Structure 1
Amino acid sequence: MVTLSKPTFVTMALIASLLAPQVHGWSVGLWSTANSCGQSGAADTTRGGDSAVSSSCQGFGFNEIQAIEVTDWADNCKIVAYDSWSCDNVLEEFTKDKYPPSQADPNWTCINNLRNHENLVNWQAFKYECA
């Protein structure tokens, strides 16, 4: 049996972690109590998943959404708003082209001023959909 010394094991583990692909996941934060994204992680509810992988229907229990915070938004993905938890009727589609990321942080987007958006009055669920 070969026994590795602690420094050798640590070095091998470090090299393996550096060579492994870095996977970042998307995150969508929904704000019903504020018209801006405010502090990161302080959304009323946050959902997420693996990078560039579509989600199932994500229902939420708010009467209205005022802002959406998106992190690590993949180029070929969009956020689709639905009027029910069954995700049958599309209300609106949010794309990275239509709502580009912040210049200060290209991995972060805040979509605000949604309170009076007529298409989103009955918004009850969303999907993160990737082509």
Structure 2
Amino acid sequence: MPFKQLSQMAPGESSATIRARVIAARKRQEVRYDSFKGVYCNAQMTERMIHQFCEPDEASLSMLRMAMERLHLSARAYNRILKVARTIADLEGSENIQSHHIAEAIGYRNLDRGDWAERGF
């Protein structure tokens, strides 16, 4: 997006609105993990829980497969992407993870890689 368009964009959500979405997402997570001792949020999910609560649909799985191959990501990165996608879906109020949640999580993962500064980003 050209800078001129970015600089003319309307302001985003207020802090109060974002706070309310975060509180609602955390509540969804509390309810979801109520029967799991010591688990209160998506970051604490075990691998078994990831398979239970983060199962991607076919389009998401295809996107994830392509990212894994192109970015040479590990199994650990795969699990982290799914956890982040689950959180993005929770913030949106979505029961299921959708492909745009996976895409956003992959984007964050790509930025999280240590070599982004060397690549000129």
TM-score, normalised with respect to structure 2: 0.22
Which one has a bigger Cα radius of gyration? 1
Larger helix share, 1 or 2: 2
Larger strand share, 1 or 2: 1
> Relative contact order (alpha carbons < 8 A, sep ≥ 6): 1 or 2 greater?
1
